[in-house]
Amino acid sequence: MDPVKLNIDGKEVITTKGKTVIQAAADVGIMIPYYCYHPKLSIAGNCRMCLIEIEKMPKLQIACNTQVAEGMSVLTQSPKVLAARKAVMEFLLINHPVDCPICDQAGECWLQDYYMEHDLQASRFEARKEHDRKREIFGPNVVFDGERCIKCTRCVRFLQEITHTNELAVVNRGDHSTIAAFPDTVLDNPLSANVVDICPVGALTDRDFRFKVRVWYLQKTPSICPGCSTGCNTSVETYQNRIARFKPRVNEAVNSHWLCDEGRYCFHDLTAGERLTTPMIRQEGGLVPATWEQALQAVLNGLRSTKPLAGILSGRSTNEEAFLFARLMKKLTGEPILEVFYQERELTDVQKILMSPDRSPNFAGARDMGMNSNGGFDSLMDKLLAGVFSGAYIVGEDLVESKADPEQIRAALQRLSFLAVQDIRMTETAKLAHVVLPATHFGEKEGTYTNRKGRVQKLNAAVIPPEGALQDCEIFIRLLEAAGEKLSYSTPSAIFDALAKEVPGYRELSYAAIGVQGVQLGGGEAKQQ
């Protein structure tokens, strides 16, 4: 890479040949405002918000499409530049409706932010504002408000260049131009809601999130999508201890700037339903409430007295939970059959951009932790249906509802001498258990996932679990200690540092080193999606 030296606002900047001024400025913390520019899309250069002054050039230039040159001197805050930005803002706001009080984008709107920075004056426009289409449904996840649109064309370029599905286009000319869907076309591709993320104003809004909560009330927690084994980086955004939405976090080693629709909305199914908050033990009249001490002792007694024994762990369980679960099962019975729940699907070309055939976000990590009996999940299920096992411990999965023939699975589970189920709600599988333990879901726990390409990333707790439910790690630790094993660790960070000493491939890692972007097993970088 050839180095290039230039001057931006009096600061000497050394960058590389081929970079644009907007990129070089951002690298040194100088933010040039823009609307149409996006680092993963082609340059449109139509918003004119990123105008800059370059020495020896008589006219202002757009920073998004001007490449750096040796000795270039750039001004991003000169009177000439600020006057141009003020004019651009005034032009964009001529017909823009002042509906910030009801607009979902309020608080995240670049028009609001840049107005405060560069315009900050009453409108001089005396004629009426021209109206456009309101609340036009583009697809199952996206609604369009034409009056708010500034024609940056980010959405159009995303659908042309990333998904290659081309549902939207700019139609008409001049001040009549607008974004529209092609006739008989629905914006429903597997990555459709990304156009909401990249819209800089309130023109495209999320139908699922629309009018739910003001964004300034949201608490944002960096975490990992539990939808599949790609491990997309997300911001889990919550209000009043409920997940309100997922937003993608940028990670060029995993998901770049994007998030698939399946992952974006998966939290609804994964957190819905009435929560379990009290352990339950089966007696003659059915399942009845019990104390944690009674339930844990019943699990120990039941697992110790039944052989052969199967252990099935959810692919949404963390590495720390898998490490403890495998340790527990091997302590209770010498040769348990352990597997991670696995469910695969066929993907379309658009789905393959981000999604994995494997629905379990931590399938690879859990198997690394010892959840692997070399037979595979299908082999375990065949043995379960054949009546090979006397007992089973199922964590976080509803086997009855997961298969095409639920009655066959139900009958197999009913034949077991002992069944322990650990889950967040009373599933069809839990209804068959001898002991039910209330646990936590992905949004309530901390730990690590290992994605399908071997990248270890942090899952962070975004909401507080209901009183009475315990963290899965705590349940396993209490069972291990009741079984006679003394442990020197209890927190996810301490558990990870302990497993890193025992599990091959993880021995060079520490919990603190994972950070918000994750680390690659083996020291290499995962290929960009």
| pLDDT at position 417 over 70 | yes
Residues 207 and 317 in one domain: no
Residues 197 and 309 in one domain: no
Mean pLDDT, residues 47-76 taken together: 96
Domain of residue 145: give its range: 99-104+125-211
Strand 219-224: give its sheet, edge to edge.
219-224, 233-239, 242-248
Beta bridge partners of 243: 238
321: left (phi over 0), alpha (psi -120 to 50) or beta: alpha
CA atoms of 191 and 210, how far apart (whole Å): 18
Residues 77 and 136 in one domain: no
- Whether 225 is in a domain gets the answer no
- Whether 446 is in a domain gets the answer yes
| pLDDT at position 374 over 80 | no
* Least-confidence region, from 34-43, 206-215, 230-239, 332-341: 332-341
For residue 501, the domain's CATH number is 3.40.50.740
CA atoms of 390 and 329, how far apart (whole Å): 14
- Whether 241 is in a domain gets the answer no
Residues 75 and 20 in one domain: yes
- Whether 374 is in a domain gets the answer yes
* Burial of 18 (C-beta count, 10 Å sphere; 0-12/13-18/19+): exposed
Residues 52 and 149 in one domain: no
Residues 200 and 339 in one domain: no
pLDDT at residue 410 in the model: 95
Percent over 70 (pLDDT), the chain: 98
pLDDT at residue 429 in the model: 96
- Whether 264 is in a domain gets the answer no
Pairing state between β 204-206 and 142-144? antiparallel
- Whether 237 is in a domain gets the answer no
Residues 41 and 155 in one domain: no
For residue 201, the domain's CATH number is 3.30.70.20
Which pLDDT tens digit goes with each residue over 135-167?
999 999 999 999 999 999 999 999 999 999 999
Residues 322 and 392 in one domain: yes
pLDDT at residue 523 in the model: 62
Residues 72 and 129 in one domain: no
pLDDT at residue 98 in the model: 86
| pLDDT at position 112 over 80 | yes
What rounded mean pLDDT belongs to the chain?
94
Residues 312 and 373 in one domain: yes
Mean pLDDT, residues 459-471 taken together: 97
Instruction: Please give the tally of structural domains in the chain.
Output: 3
Which pLDDT tens digit goes with each residue over 70-110?
999 999 999 999 999 999 999 999 989 989 999 999 999 99
Residues 404 and 486 in one domain: yes
pLDDT band at 373 (very low <50, low <70, confident <90, very high): confident
Domain-ending residue, one of 181, 196, 211: 211
| pLDDT at position 526 over 50 | no
pTM (2 decimals)? 0.93
| pLDDT at position 281 over 80 | yes
Domain-ending residue, one of 186, 211, 236: 211
Domain-ending residue, one of 191, 211, 231: 211
Buried b (16+ CB within 10 A) or exposed e, 395-432: bbbbbbebeeeeeebbebbeebebbbbbbbbbbebbbb
| pLDDT at position 524 over 70 | no
Residues 172 and 288 in one domain: no
Mean pLDDT, residues 279-304 taken together: 95
